[in-house]
Amino acid sequence: LNEQLCMRDAEKEALMKQKADAEWQLGEHQYWLRNANDRIASLENELAHVKESDQHTLRDLRSENESLIQTFVVSFFNLIFYASSGTSFTNLRIKEEVKRLEDELQTSRRSMAGKLEERSVCPRCKEDSELSYAGSVGEDISALSRSIRELRQDLNHQAIIDTLTRQCSAMEYALEEEKQALSDAYQRYV
């Protein structure tokens, strides 16, 4: 009987040990499961954030694409307008440069006249300085007149219009490539 009690106690201890091992393993698996669930929740939150960020980026790309298209359309119509009216962006810049040079010439004439009056002390000195002033102003005027004539000749060159037409074609091609790239990126995203 004593021997049976000892055997039962040994079995009881073995079962208790198995129970403790099973509980420990259960706790360990619960810990892993809890960590896995936390990681899943974290990844789901990150995925939601990435989706939101991608949607925001996609909206930005669409608005940028629309603004590029609008800018291109405006530039294109301006280019067509200027090309059809016989002028070009380069011609406009040349006209502005001619106007600036003419204004600069007038300003320098006025300032030189004022400085000449201030420097002259005696009538004889004034006559001498007016003679030298007239010579240098005449040279300046002729140089500026030559520059103005050259710039006006540049206004009429057909090469400028041809260059602008090529640039317009290149811009159309580049815009079409951008549009295709954005469309491809959108298709990959969706």
Task: Read off the pLDDT of residues 5-51 as tens digits, 9 standing for 90 and up.
Answer: 999 999 999 999 999 999 999 999 999 999 999 999 999 999 999 88
Task: Give the model confidence (pLDDT) of 84-94 as tens digits.
Answer: 565 555 566 66
- Distance from C-alpha of 5 to C-alpha of 25, rounded to nearest angstrom: 30
Handedness of CA 8, 13, 18, 24 (dihedral sign): positive
Percent of the chain with pLDDT over 70: 49
The pLDDT, as a whole number, for residue 132 is 47
DSSP 3-state of 85: coil
The pLDDT, as a whole number, for residue 98 is 61
* Residue pair 94/151 in contact by the 8 Å Cβ criterion: yes
